[in-house]
Every structure is written in structure tokens, then in C-alpha cells.
């Protein structure tokens, strides 16, 4: 039985949320401002910032699901691989914003001149192992003013290929999210400038206007960071999934008695294996640096496993304390991270 006081509070809260969504739809207050100005008050009354952030993000998501096409200059955009999962997301978002989006798939090259020569922007969204070949094939159809971009998860090779084969504007993008998201809201997109970045300003402004944060770096820095952010993370979770399957673990039973962090980890592993197998494998194998780093990670696992097998308690504690020192600043104040973890799990 729900207490009457709770019902009344919920109804009052829902009406306030309705008003908040209505106000947001008539204004353009950046999400950062919505979060920062209220922080002292949240601390004063004891409401975690993560709870308020979820409210702000959810309200903004409602308003961004119906994007305004007012004052948008329609651009001619061709997405190569636009029927793929990530290609579809960009097609939907750009079309909803009022742009004219065409799609070029592997069986459409007979119409490549028509689809590419008049485009303001050509966006390449194909598997890693095909990206360079597609760039070479695409470039010969492009006008010098056409902006060429890719959204592959490696950047050094694709950006260099675009610079080599296309004389016009070039940029490399890496959306740091999967195709299952409903919008660009609260996502990150890494931007690697190539040539004439001003030609992409409208596109970058569009991504930001949808609630994404742009992270600018060189292609080389991007690829160094992605070795850890993507390749080793994929391998760790890939390995855990393989292990759980080999051990024939009853996942549902384990979840019935699990901790929040275990539930979150299992959910992440399940999401990994819900992806395309070639996509996941290519992320690990994309560069020699990734392969070598994964091998070093596996060696670390092996070395630690030997210490465990030897029951060398002091050695394990020493390793633990070494890592504690490495993460010292993050470990000092875990409370906000705990709120975030609980929000993700629930």
C-alpha cells in the first residue's frame, strides 16, 4: 500500500517535471549550467548530485527527441554505410534536424557520382578493415569543397588516408557510444581535425546542440588512448564472457544473490556480446599496438594468477597497495562514484 503522502509528493513532483520540460523546450540552457548553479543547494539539503543529473538529463532527452528544424540550412549529406547500426543513428538524427540525407551501400556504387559529387558532407561509417579502401574509392567522386569525415574507432590511418586522397576538408570523428542510444544527448564525440575544420563547424555545432560533448585531439593521441579505453576493456570483458560460458555459470541464479557492481559488470558483458562479433573482434585487432598491449595485459593476468596459486598473500597485498597509490585521488572520495554506480545498476 502506497502512503497517501508519497502519492501526493509524486503527483506534485510530476507536475513540476512537466513545467520543467515545458520551460526547457522554450529555452536553450546548456546542461552544464543546469547542473552547476544548483550544486550548492543540493549539498545543503543532502540530495546527491547524481540524482539531479539524472533528472536534468532525462528532461533534456524529452525535449531533444523532437528537434526543431527552424533556422536550419538543409545540407546535402551522404552517409556511406548508412544502413549499418551506427550509420542509421546518424541518418535519423541528421534527417530529423532537417538535412537531406542519402545513403550509399556496397551495391550502390553505380550511383556514386550522383550520391557523392553534389554532397556538402560525406560521412563514412563502415567496418574498420574496409575504411581505407572506401576512402580511396570515395575520394575520386568528391568536389574539392565537399567535407569528408569518418566515424571509425581508429583515427591515425583513416585521417591520413582522407588527407592523402581528398584535397578538400577532412575530419576524423569517433562517437564514444554505441548504436543503441536514442540520441546524442550526454554522449562524447572525439574530434580529430584534418584540414579546413571551419567547413565542419555546422556539423560540430549540430552534434553539440544535441547534447554531446566534443573532445578535440590529434589522431595519434586518440589511438593511444583507445588502446586502453577500448581494446583492453573489450579483451577483459570478452575474456570474462568466455570464462563464464566455459564454466557454464547460471547467470540468472548468480544475479539473484549478487552485489550491485557484479550486476553492472554482467550487464556490460552482455552488452558486449550483443554486438556484431566482427565489430568487437576488429576493435581488439585494429592495430599492432592494440594487439601488443592486450598481450601485456594477458601476461599481467597470468603473473597475478601464479601469485594467487602460490597463496602469496604479502605479494598480493603489495600489488594492491601499489595500485591504491596509483588511484589515490580517485579513491579518496568514492561517494559520488557510488551514487553513479547505484543509478546505473538500478
Judgement on whether residues 25 and 100 belong to the same structural domain of the protein: no
CB 203 within 8 A of CB 147: yes
Judgement on whether residues 251 and 135 belong to the same structural domain of the protein: no
Judgement on whether residues 107 and 176 belong to the same structural domain of the protein: yes
Sheet of 170-175, strands arranged across: 100-104, 76-80, 121-124, 147-150, 170-175, 188-195, 213-216
E strands in 139-290: 147-150, 170-175, 188-195, 213-216
CB 343 within 8 A of CB 264: no
Domain boundary among 217, 247, 282: 217
Distance, in Å, from the CA atom of 67 to the CA atom of 64, rounded to the nearest integer, reads 5
Residue 329 is assigned to a structural domain of this protein: no
CB 253 within 8 A of CB 226: no
Judgement on whether residues 211 and 109 belong to the same structural domain of the protein: yes
Judgement on whether residues 116 and 148 belong to the same structural domain of the protein: yes
Domain boundary among 64, 85, 100: 64
For the domain that residue 282 is a member of, what is the CATH number? 1.10.3660.10
Judgement on whether residues 109 and 240 belong to the same structural domain of the protein: no
Residue 338 is assigned to a structural domain of this protein: no
Judgement on whether residues 199 and 81 belong to the same structural domain of the protein: yes
Judgement on whether residues 13 and 46 belong to the same structural domain of the protein: yes
Judgement on whether residues 121 and 253 belong to the same structural domain of the protein: no
* Number of domains into which the chain is organized: 3
CB 177 within 8 A of CB 191: no
* Domain range for 255: 222-311
pLDDT in tens, the chain (346 residues): 788 899 899 999 999 988 888 888 777 788 788 888 888 898 898 999 888 888 888 887 777 655 555 567 999 999 999 999 999 999 999 999 999 999 999 999 999 999 999 999 999 999 999 999 999 999 999 999 999 999 999 999 999 999 999 999 999 999 999 888 888 888 999 999 999 999 999 999 999 988 899 999 999 999 999 999 999 999 999 999 999 999 999 999 999 999 999 999 999 999 999 988 998 999 999 999 999 999 999 999 999 999 999 999 999 999 999 999 999 876 655 544 554 455 555 4
Residue 71 is assigned to a structural domain of this protein: no
Domain boundary among 182, 217, 252: 217
Rounded to two decimals, the pTM is: 0.78
Amino acid at each position: 500500500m502506497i502512503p497517501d503522502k508519497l502519492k501526493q509528493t509524486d503527483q506534485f513532483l510530476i507536475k513540476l517535471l512537466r513545467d520543467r520540460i515545458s520551460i526547457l523546450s522554450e529555452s536553450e540552457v546548456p546542461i552544464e549550467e543546469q547542473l552547476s548553479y544548483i550544486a550548492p543547494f543540493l549539498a545543503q539539503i543532502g540530495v546527491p548530485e547524481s540524482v539531479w543529473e539524472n533528472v536534468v538529463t532525462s528532461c533534456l532527452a524529452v525535449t531533444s527527441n523532437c528537434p526543431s528544424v527552424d533556422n536550419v540550412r538543409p545540407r546535402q549529406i551522404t552517409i556511406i554505410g548508412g544502413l549499418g547500426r551506427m550509420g542509421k543513428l546518424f541518418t535519423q538524427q541528421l534527417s530529423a534536424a532537417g538535412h537531406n540525407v542519402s545513403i550509399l551501400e556496397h551495391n550502390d556504387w553505380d550511383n556514386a557520382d550522383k550520391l557523392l559529387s553534389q554532397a556538402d558532407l560525406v560521412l563514412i561509417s563502415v567496418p574498420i578493415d574496409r575504411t581505407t579502401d572506401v576512402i580511396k574509392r570515395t575520394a575520386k567522386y568528391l568536389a574539392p569543397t565537399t567535407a569528408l569525415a569518418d566515424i571509425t574507432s581508429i583515427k591515425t590511418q583513416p585521417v591520413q588516408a582522407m588527407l592523402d586522397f581528398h584535397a578538400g576538408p577532412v575530419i576524423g570523428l569517433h562517437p564514444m557510444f554505441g548504436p543503441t542510444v536514442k540520441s546524442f544527448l550526454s554522449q562524447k564525440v572525439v574530434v580529430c581535425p584534418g584540414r579546413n575544420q571551419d567547413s565542419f563547424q555546422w556539423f560540430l555545432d549540430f552534434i553539440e546542440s544535441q547534447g554531446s560533448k566534443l573532445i578535440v585531439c590529434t589522431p595519434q593521441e586518440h589511438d593511444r588512448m583507445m588502446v586502453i579505453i577500448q581494446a583492453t576493456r573489450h579483451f577483459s570483458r570478452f575474456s570474462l564472457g568466455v570464462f563464464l560460458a566455459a564454466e557454464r555459470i547460471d547467470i540468472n541464479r548468480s544475479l539473484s544473490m549478487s552485489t550491485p557492481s557484479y550486476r553492472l559488470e554482467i550487464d556490460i558483458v552482455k552488452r558486449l556480446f550483443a554486438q556484431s562479433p566482427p565489430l568487437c573482434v576488429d576493435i581488439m585487432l585494429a592495430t599492432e599496438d592494440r594487439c601488443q598491449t592486450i598481450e601485456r595485459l594477458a601476461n599481467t593476468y597470468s603473473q597475478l594468477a601464479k601469485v594467487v596459486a602460490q597463496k602469496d598473500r604479502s605479494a598480493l597485498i603489495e600489488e594492491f597497495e601499489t595500485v591504491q597509490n596509483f588511484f589515490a585521488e580517485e579513491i579518496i572520495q568514492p561517494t559520488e562514484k557510488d551514487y553513479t554506480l547505484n543509478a546505473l545498476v538500478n
